[in-house]
Amino acid sequence: MNAITRLSDKGQVVVPKAIRDLKGWAPGLDLEVVDAGDGVLLRPRRRVKTLTPSETAARFKEIYQHQGPPVTLEEMDEAIAEEAARRAERW
């Protein structure tokens, strides 16, 4: 769907109602303005939800599930040291 609108003296543009309705855009929606060569693209700004520490930990456990026996802190430290040494050899 195409529509025509006019740039005001203040640099404002009205997004036609038919387009707003089609996209489900309500008043107060933040739009990102992207340079698109000979024009611009308007799209809803993506918002990243800030998680609480407990939500972050729960999400981490959900994504990174360890398979196998528990690993000790000493084994983790050893693995980290081995990887650090391996990467240092490349420099």
The one-character DSSP state at 87 is H
Q: Is residue 14 part of a domain?
A: no
Q: 29 near 15, Cβ under 8 Å?
A: no
Q: Is residue 37 part of a domain?
A: no
Residues shown for the chain = 91
Range of the domain at 63: 53-90
CA distance 38 to 36: 6
Q: Is residue 48 part of a domain?
A: no
Per-residue pLDDT of the chain (91 residues; tens, 9 = 90+): 888 999 999 999 999 999 999 999 999 999 999 999 999 999 999 877 888 999 999 989 889 888 889 999 999 999 999 999 999 998 8
Q: Is residue 59 part of a domain?
A: yes
| Of 15, 9, 10, 3, nearest in space to 42 by CA | 15
- Per-residue model confidence (pLDDT) at position 52: 92
Query: How many domains, in total, are found in the chain?
Result: 1
Q: Is residue 85 part of a domain?
A: yes
| Of 52, 57, 33, nearest in space to 43 by CA | 33
Q: Is residue 64 part of a domain?
A: yes
Measured CA distances, 74 to 18, 65, 68 (Å): 63, 20, 17
pTM recorded for the entire structure: 0.49
Q: Is residue 79 part of a domain?
A: yes
